[in-house]
Amino acid sequence: MSLPGGRNGIAEGICERSARLAWSGTSGETGAFRFLRELVIMLASFRELAVKSPWIYRINAGSCNGCDVEMATCALIPRYDIERLGCQYCGSPRHADIVLISGPLTRRVLDAARRVFDEIPDPKVTVAVGVCPISGGIFRESYAVLAPIDQYFPVDVNVPGCPPRPQAIIEGVAEAIEVWRQRL
């Protein structure tokens, strides 16, 4: 399996160092020093690996699917391919670094959205996609809607629009990557 953002080469380096760590002698000062040095280099490699390739997860918090279609455009159509930024969508919140939330946050999805959001490890960056998470958009008068979403989740980047164009989503993700790098 190929990993995004040059992860393959770095991952091989980490595997090699792990093997060396396992085989390096730990008795005596030389062995302990070698062990620590290899460990420090390996941890630096892990950081480099993470910094290069943030993974993105998406939460639909009651959207009409318009924003989600535009997000899918950023994943499937080469012209707007978001992987050019060195990131990619992932299937599990536990692997994610950046979360895109669409929709006005309906009462019905609040608990599920919170549960999934809490599964994303820190330091995570949240991008609110569309005008719905910002103000409720066309659903703002509804009794079923809780927006603005930032009263329930910490939002780092807003991407307004109904739905936002793929270019705006790409720009929002680029901004989110910068915020995420500063937090690492």
Tell me which residues touch ligand SF4 (CB under 6 A). Answer: 63-64, 66-67, 102-103, 130-132, 137-138, 162-163
Nearest distance in Å: CB 178, ligand SF4: 24
Q: Report the residue number, 14 or 101, with the smaller CB distance to ligand SF4.
A: 101
User: What is the C-alpha separation between 133 and 28, in angstroms, rounded?
Assistant: 59
Q: Report the residue number, 17 or 140, with the smaller CB distance to ligand SF4.
A: 140
Nearest distance in Å: CB 150, ligand SF4: 15
Nearest distance in Å: CB 31, ligand SF4: 59
Q: CA torsion, points 163, 140, 177, 78, in degrees to nearest 10?
A: -20
Q: Report the residue number, 49 or 132, with the smaller CB distance to ligand SF4.
A: 132
Give DSSP secondary structure letters for the chain: -PPTTTHHHHHHHHHHHHHHHHHS--SHHHHHHHHHHHHHHHHHHHHHHHHH--EEEEEESS--SHHHHHHHHHHH-GGG-GGGGT-EE-S-GGG-SEEEEES--BGGGHHHHHHHHHHSPSS-EEEEESSHHHH-GGGTT-TTB---GGGTS---EEE-SSSPPHHHHHHHHHHHHHHHHHH-
Q: Report the residue number, 102 or 126, with the smaller CB distance to ligand SF4.
A: 102
Give the residue nearest to ligand SF4 (CB): 66
Contact by Cβ (8 Å): 132, 147: yes
Nearest distance in Å: CB 78, ligand SF4: 23
Q: Report the residue number, 98 or 128, with the smaller CB distance to ligand SF4.
A: 128
Nearest distance in Å: CB 38, ligand SF4: 49
